[in-house]
Amino acid sequence: MAVDRGVRRLPLLTADDGLCGPPLTDVPLSETDAAALAAVLAALADPVRLRLISLVASRGEVCSCHLEEPLGKSQPTISHHTRVLAEAGLIEGDKRGKWTWWRIVPSRLAAVRQALGGT
């Protein structure tokens, strides 16, 4: 028999209580979609890439040459991070001479928001 040491425990909520959400099996994210979303979230799971994507989003389009100073990273490092974001479909670029100009892929960000339950 367990000894009550004065610890009050809240009763577990069930779906019948009306306070708990639907069962996890009702979540519309398929295994395939979850794997694809995880790959995108992995690309975003880096502080430099989050800053990079916010810089590009705030300006509409940014040349790679303008990312070194605000990010405090070398051009090869920036190239690595832009490649990861581009492979995840979050940004796309156009080569103009020596440099690539990057912009956000709005539909891809919208899909990520929607998958996470945003609007």
The domain limits of the chain are 30-115
Backbone torsions φ then ψ of 68, nearest 5 degrees: -60, -50
**What digits encode the pLDDT tens for the residues 59-99?**
999 999 999 999 999 999 999 999 999 999 999 999 999 99
Query: How far apart, in whole angstroms, are the C-alpha atoms of residue 40 and residue 106?
Result: 14
> Is residue 1 scored above 80 in pLDDT?
no
**What digits encode the pLDDT tens for the residues 35-68?**
888 999 999 999 999 999 999 999 999 999 999 9
**What digits encode the pLDDT tens for the residues 22-34?**
555 556 778 888 8
Q: Are 66 and 54 in contact (CB under 8 A)?
A: no
Average per-residue pLDDT in the chain?
82
CATH number of the domain located at residue range(s) 30-115 in this protein: 1.10.10.10
User: pTM above 0.85?
Assistant: no
Query: How far apart, in whole angstroms, are the C-alpha atoms of residue 50 and residue 33?
Result: 22
**CA quadruple 24, 25, 27, 31: dihedral positive or negative?**
positive
Tell which residue, 52, 60, 40, 49, has the closest CA to residue 112.
40
**Is the pLDDT higher at 116 or at 73?**
73
At residue 15, the pLDDT reads: 43
Pairing of strands 99-104, 62-63: antiparallel
Cβ-Cβ contacts under 8 Å for 96 (sequence gap 6 or more): 63
Query: How far apart, in whole angstroms, are the C-alpha atoms of residue 50 and residue 55?
Result: 9
Query: How far apart, in whole angstroms, are the C-alpha atoms of residue 29 and residue 34?
Result: 6
